[in-house]
């Protein structure tokens, strides 16, 4: 696919999002003007309406992600991260931890790992369509409830706006496009339905992810990574990470360096949820390669998240940073010990084994110095 066609698709997606937002804005504006100029609303009611509007957006986004969560669980998926706006629930050391994280390219996120055993494409389709289905059904239910109870004035408008947001959110997500290099549900769904190359790549990524999560070594797996991709999507980024961890697993320093170089080249294409972890690995590699300036640069880029990261991967990066950059052996040993204590709780078992290996390698280095 050429660059021009890709740009055209992105422009069409942006136009569709603008039209959807414009429709919602027109609907809300019409109702507000009608009530403020020709009705009995005052400023207090306007503020109350805006609060309900924001709450409606929050609720419908939750409905969307809960749809993915429920249908994902039914089809054997495992939850890794659940985010709405700045609020996040992450699987950290076997426990669900609440945190506030800046998001880019999405209002909500329900990250789940596909089951290790092969399941039909229909099951994957159900998981990815969960958000769209729940949004549209929720909107229809609100309309039915409104018609039954016949609420008046403000509550009536809240029902109308929330139902409109929910249905619109479902419709927009049914459209195939990328946002922050994250594929929309529609992009995935239509790819599966029409058996597009994107869906084939998605199933390959799901297969690798499931096997890696179950503890299978990447050294035993064939990872179809293409160095020559001009504009990588989120799946290409994921395959890059798997290729990189395979190089770590096999102690292939030459390929490790090549994959890190590619991460830096693709930095503007990295989805928001993967950006901190990209900084983790660039920082780690800068540490072991003796590039102190780059290590400090990427540590600072991920510092807000890294400081509070108590998973084995975050502790590993902090341990190497303390040893190679801050020259603080005692703090480095503390992070190493902490990492080994939680390694068995990391949700991706294959990566946990690599993390354990890297931490023990640093312990041996410190022991010999």
The pLDDT tens digits of the residues spanning 62-110 come to 999 999 999 999 999 999 889 887 788 877 666 777 877 766 555 788 9
The continuous run of DSSP H or E covering 87 comes out as strand 87-92
Mean of the pLDDT values across residues 36-60? 73
In which band, very low, low, confident or very high, does the pLDDT at 37 lie, cut at 50, 70 and 90? very low
Check residue 41 and give its pLDDT: 59
Place of tokens 């297969």: 207
Give buried/exposed letters for 336-351 (b at 16+ CB in 10 A, else e).
bebbbebbeebbbebb
For the chain, give the mean pLDDT: 86
Least confident of 47-51, 190-194, 205-209: 47-51
pLDDT of residue 91: 75
Residues in the chain: 369
pTM: 0.80
DSSP 94: T
- Beta bridge pairs of residue 84: 87, 108
Most confident of 51-55, 78-82, 340-344: 340-344
Whole-number pLDDT of residue 4: 44
Provide the token pair at 247: 């190089």
Mean pLDDT of the 26-48 span: 60
pLDDT tens figures, 129-180 = 999 999 999 999 999 999 998 877 778 878 888 998 899 999 989 999 887 7
In the predicted model, what is the mean pLDDT of residues 247-263? 96
Whether residue 327 is predicted with pLDDT greater than 90 in this model: the reply is yes
Q: What does the pLDDT read at residue 1?
A: 39
| Cβ neighbours, 10 Å, residue 15 | 11
Mean pLDDT is highest, among 170-184, 223-237, 274-288, for: 274-288
Closest alpha carbon to 134 in 103, 96, 167? 167
What's the average model confidence in pLDDT over 270-295?
A: 95
In the chain, what are the domain boundaries?
3-77+114-174, 215-367
Residue 330, pLDDT score: 96
Output the DSSP codes for 215-277.
Answer: T--GGGS-----TT-SS--HHHHHHHHHHHHHHHHTT-HHHHHHHHHHHHHTGGGS-GGGHHH
- Tokens 């023990």 locate to 360
* Rounded Cα distance, 149 and 144, in Å: 9
Element (H, E) at 317: helix 312-324
The token pair that represents 352 in the structure block? 């946990």
Q: Tokens 């480095």 appear where?
A: 332
Residue 38 pLDDT class (50, 70, 90 cuts): very low
pLDDT value of residue 17: 58
Res 18 pLDDT > 80 = no
Structure tokens at 67: 């749809």
Grade residue 358 by pLDDT with cuts at 50, 70 and 90.
Answer: very high
Measured distance CA(287)–CA(102) in Å, rounded: 26
Nearest by Cα to 251 from 327, 147, 358, 174: 358
Q: What is the pLDDT of residue 2?
A: 41
């Amino acid at each position: 696919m050429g660059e021009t066609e890709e740009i055209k698709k992105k422009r069409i997606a942006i136009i569709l999002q603008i039209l959807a937002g414009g429709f919602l804005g027109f609907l809300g504006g019409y109702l507000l003007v009608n009530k403020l100029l020709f009705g009995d609303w005052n400023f207090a009611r306007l503020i109350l309406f805006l609060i309900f509007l924001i709450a409606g957006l929050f609720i419908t986004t939750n409905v969307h992600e809960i749809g993915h969560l429920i249908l994902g669980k039914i089809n054997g998926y495992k939850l890794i991260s659940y985010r709405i706006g700045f609020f996040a629930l992450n699987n950290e050391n076997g426990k669900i931890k609440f945190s506030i994280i800046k998001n880019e390219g999405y209002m909500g996120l329900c990250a789940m790992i596909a089951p290790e055993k092969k399941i039909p494409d229909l099951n994957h389709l159900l998981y990815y369509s969960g958000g769209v289905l729940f949004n549209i059904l929720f909107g229809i239910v609100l309309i039915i409830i409104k018609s039954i109870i016949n609420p008046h004035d403000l509550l009536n408008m809240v029902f109308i706006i929330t139902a409109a947001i929910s249905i619109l959110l479902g419709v927009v997500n049914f459209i195939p496009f990328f946002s922050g290099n994250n594929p929309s549900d529609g992009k995935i769904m239509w790819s599966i339905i029409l058996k597009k190359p994107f869906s084939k790549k998605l199933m390959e990524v799901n297969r690798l992810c499931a096997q890696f999560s179950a503890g299978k070594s990447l050294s035993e797996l064939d990872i179809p990574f293409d160095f020559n991709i001009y504009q990588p999507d989120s799946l290409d980024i994921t395959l890059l990470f798997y290729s990189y961890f395979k190089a770590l697993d096999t102690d292939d320093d030459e390929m490790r360096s090549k994959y890190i170089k590619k991460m830096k080249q693709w930095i503007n294409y990295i989805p928001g949820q993967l950006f901190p972890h990209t900084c983790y690995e660039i920082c780690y590699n800068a540490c072991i390669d003796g590039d102190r300036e780059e290590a400090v640069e990427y540590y600072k880029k991920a510092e807000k998240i890294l400081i509070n990261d108590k998973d084995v991967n975050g502790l590993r990066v902090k341990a190497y940073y303390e040893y190679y950059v801050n020259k603080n052996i005692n703090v480095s040993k503390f992070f190493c010990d902490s990492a080994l204590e939680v390694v068995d709780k990391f949700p991706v078992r294959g990566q946990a084994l690599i993390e354990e290996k890297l931490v023990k390698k640093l312990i041996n280095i410190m022991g010999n110095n």
